[in-house]
């Protein structure tokens, strides 16, 4: 039997080593994602134009003045893309964070509780939610929630999409966490702490939750990609962020009709979206990879 | 392991699926009713007439007590009646779905076929030289594709193959076979851009795992050639998980098909859903949600039932 040779750590020690581990791909992912986040913060601040300004002629090809070109009414795609990026990324981080916390809590409790009926009821709900194709359940909820007005900082259409995502996304984490909690509740160290007389609450908090959340958190990083993609897909189905607010999906949806003459309106934000997804996948993959 | 135990196992899985189906039906029923506020005013907006509100209330069947609503709803389902469209009077929801379903299913079928072929080839190519250049390239392509939204893949395919090269139609639908086939190619490829990477990743993982098993060492010491090893031992073991994967991916394939339809203007479930969302036609949305969840449950069940037939090890597991 051949044993896999362990890759040599390329960062000998220090906090970088702890963050990156032995994975080159994780470092690449962190650098790529960090750059994109920095651009989303800096570009709207440093740029002379705001995302909704008409800055030049319509349909200008990418140039030094407008690196991603201009759209059908002469707005700068570069500024719109990175201003839209913060909408997508904050929304995805927010709903995924909510889903991880709610899902992990419910799932851990369901897996650890001795009231098996509570577990059964929760898992029936989870099964039902997961049975729906995600986008169909989202659209149904978006229509039911129905608000298409802006809400605080959230542009029109976003609140309904966020509420819909929060109603759906937790279920996957509940299932993941429950499975993990079920496995841990009979682990030796949990049995030992039970024998030692630790109360059930402390056992869940101190011994089960850390093991469960390690798995759900790694999964969550990959899930952010999924949420960004879903958010960007919604405009194509008549939901999601409404124009003129910049958002990756709505920019691409607006550019869809001009593909023949002005491919950059669609392709440029799309490329940034794909690179964001790639960088997060690199990070998530390296966290789930069992090579240390 | 006896045949009877196999039937018992299968019956248990069918029972589990029926239970999930029951939860789904309850959830779809509650969907409109659990949302705070009156669904009628939500759907119609604030500026509307009393007649329009009353008509919608009747169409949504909200003018009777909730318990009776539920039993009427169940009775309707048992007769295959999913209600009437709230916007297009006289159109039954089941009729709308039945008209659109064949288009969606043909896209799903083409997408499944293409992603299976591409996924197996890429996954095996990567697994046969793990952590080397080919593997790294395949994994990067796979991740990039996975991170690219289906609609973007569709738009890029249109840009290259329809607009630049003029090889295939950018959208539309002929309405009958075999004239439909050219219209299915680009949507099918776009759809496989999501499932293909998942299959490739799974095949790679399974192939690497099976290449580290003891029976590989045994086969090697019996003097089997490298290609015999790959075909007799690695290939079957790495293709097996695809059955399960296709089953559980049915939902995401439907999701993808819906988006692809919107991009290519195909008259399927996705177009009906988009239309219904724009018109806030709630009965149609509910019907499509219920139908698609059923399809996913059946897909999962089929995968679970077929798997033990193909893999003897799964039979003896109980």
Higher-confidence position of B197 and B311: B197
Split at pLDDT 50, 70, 90, the class of A292 is very low
Q: What is the mean pLDDT of residues A162-190?
A: 86
Does residue B244 belong to the interface with chain A, where contact is any CB pair within 8 Å?
A: no
Split at pLDDT 50, 70, 90, the class of B39 is low
Closest CB to B273: pick one of A237, A252, A277.
A237
Given a cut of 50, is residue A265 above it in pLDDT?
Answer: yes
Instruction: Return the number of other C-beta atoms located less than 10 Å from residue A292's C-beta.
Output: 9
Q: Where in chain B are the domains?
A: 40-81, 93-317
**Per-residue confidence (pLDDT) for residue A96, from 0 to 100:** 93
Q: Where in chain A are the domains?
A: 3-43+80-290
Q: What is the mean pLDDT of residues A219-240?
A: 85
Q: For the domain with range A3-43+80-290, which CATH number is right: 3.40.1390.30, 3.90.1150.10, 1.10.3720.10, 1.10.630.10?
A: 1.10.3720.10
Higher-confidence position of A268 and A47: A268
**Per-residue confidence (pLDDT) for residue B155, from 0 to 100:** 86
Prediction ipTM score: 0.77
Task: Using alpha carbons, select from B236, B224, B226, B245 the residue that is nearest to residue B128.
Answer: B226
Split at pLDDT 50, 70, 90, the class of A289 is low
**Per-residue confidence (pLDDT) for residue A148, from 0 to 100:** 64
Given a cut of 80, is residue A220 above it in pLDDT?
Answer: yes
Q: For the domain with range B93-317, which CATH number is right: 1.10.3720.10, 1.20.1250.20, 2.70.160.11, 3.30.56.10?
A: 1.10.3720.10
Q: What is the mean pLDDT of residues B170-195?
A: 77
Q: What is the pTM of this model?
A: 0.81
Does residue A156 belong to the interface with chain B, where contact is any CB pair within 8 Å?
A: no
Highest mean pLDDT among A112-121, B29-38, B231-240: A112-121
Which residues 127-146 on chain B approach chain A with CB closer than 8 angstroms? 131, 140, 143-144, 146
Asked if B259 and A233 touch (Cβ cutoff 8 Å), the reply is yes
Split at pLDDT 50, 70, 90, the class of B4 is low
Among A72-86, A194-208, B173-187, B223-237, name the one with the lowest average pLDDT: B173-187
Given a cut of 70, is residue A262 above it in pLDDT?
Answer: yes
Contacts with B212 from chain A: Cβ below 8 Å: 1-2, 4
- Burial class for B288, CB neighbours closer than 10 Å (0-12, 13-18, 19+): buried
Asked if B74 and B82 touch (Cβ cutoff 8 Å), the reply is no
* DSSP SS3 for B92: strand
Kindly determine whether residue B147 and residue A280, on different chains, have CB atoms separated by under 8 Å. yes
Does residue B288 belong to the interface with chain A, where contact is any CB pair within 8 Å?
A: yes
Radius of gyration of chain A (CA): 22
**Per-residue confidence (pLDDT) for residue A37, from 0 to 100:** 92
Closest CB to B285: pick one of A1, A139, A280.
A139
């Amino acid at each position: 039997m051949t044993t896999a040779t362990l890759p040599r750590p390329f960062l000998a020690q220090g906090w970088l080593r702890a963050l990156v581990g032995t994975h080159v791909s994780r470092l690449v992912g962190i650098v790529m994602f960090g750059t994109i986040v920095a651009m989303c913060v800096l570009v709207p601040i440093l740029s002379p134009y705001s995302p909704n300004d008409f800055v030049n002629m319509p349909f200008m090809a990418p140039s030094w003045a407008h690196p991603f070109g201009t759209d059908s009414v002469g707005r700068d795609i570069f500024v719109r893309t990175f201003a839209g990026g913060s909408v997508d990324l904050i929304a995805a981080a927010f709903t995924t964070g909510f889903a991880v916390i709610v899902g992990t809590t419910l799932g851990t409790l369901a897996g650890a509780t001795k009231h098996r009926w509570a577990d059964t009821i929760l898992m029936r709900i989870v099964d039902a939610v997961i049975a729906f194709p995600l986008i169909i359940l989202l659209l149904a909820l978006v229509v039911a929630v129905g608000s298409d007005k802006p809400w605080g900082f959230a542009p029109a259409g976003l609140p309904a999409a966020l509420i819909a995502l929060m109603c759906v996304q937790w279920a996957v984490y509940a299932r993941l966490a429950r499975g993990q909690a079920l496995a841990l509740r009979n682990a030796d160290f949990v049995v030992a702490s039970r024998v030692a007389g630790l109360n059930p609450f402390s056992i869940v908090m101190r011994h089960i939750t850390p093991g469960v959340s390690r798995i759900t958190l790694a999964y969550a990083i990959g899930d952010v990609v999924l949420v960004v993609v879903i958010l960007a897909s919604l405009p194509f189905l008549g939901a999601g962020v409404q124009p003129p607010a910049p958002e990756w999906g709505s920019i691409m949806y607006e550019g869809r009709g001009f593909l023949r003459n002005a491919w950059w309106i669609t392709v440029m934000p799309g490329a940034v979206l794909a690179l964001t997804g790639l960088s997060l996948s690199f990070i998530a993959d390296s966290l789930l990879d069992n090579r240390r | 392991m006896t045949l009877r135990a196999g039937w018992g196992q299968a019956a248990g899985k069918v029972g589990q699926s029926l239970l999930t189906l029951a939860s789904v039906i309850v959830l779809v029923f509650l969907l409109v009713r659990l949302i705070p506020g009156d669904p009628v005013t939500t759907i119609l907006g604030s500026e509307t007439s009393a007649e329009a509100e009353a008509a919608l209330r009747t169409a949504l069947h909200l003018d009777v007590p909730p318990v009776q609503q539920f039993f009427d709803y169940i009775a309707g389902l048992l007769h295959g009646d999913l209600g009437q469209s709230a916007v297009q009077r006289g159109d039954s929801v089941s009729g709308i779905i039945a008209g659109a379903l064949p288009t969606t299913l043909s896209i799903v079928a083409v997408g499944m076929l293409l992603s299976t072929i591409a996924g197996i080839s890429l996954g095996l190519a990567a697994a046969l030289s793990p952590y080397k250049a080919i593997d790294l390239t395949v994994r990067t392509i796979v991740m990039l594709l996975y991170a690219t939204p289906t609609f973007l893949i569709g738009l890029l395919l249109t840009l290259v193959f329809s607009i630049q090269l003029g090889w295939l139609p950018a959208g539309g639908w002929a309405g009958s076979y075999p004239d439909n086939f050219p219209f299915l190619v680009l949507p099918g490829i776009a759809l496989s851009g999501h499932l293909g990477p998942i299959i490739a990743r799974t095949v790679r993982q399974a192939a690497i795992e099976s290449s580290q098993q003891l029976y590989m060492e045994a086969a090697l010491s019996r003097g089997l050639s490298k290609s015999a090893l790959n075909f007799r031992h690695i290939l079957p073991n790495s293709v097996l998980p695809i059955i399960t994967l296709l089953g559980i991916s049915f939902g995401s394939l439907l999701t993808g098909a819906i988006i692809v339809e919107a991009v290519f203007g195909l008259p399927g479930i996705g177009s009906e859903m988009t239309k219904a969302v724009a018109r806030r036609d709630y009965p149609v949305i509910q019907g499509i949600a219920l139908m698609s969840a059923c399809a996913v449950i059946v897909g999962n069940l089929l995968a679970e039932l077929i798997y033990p037939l193909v893999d003897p090890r799964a039979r003896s597991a109980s």
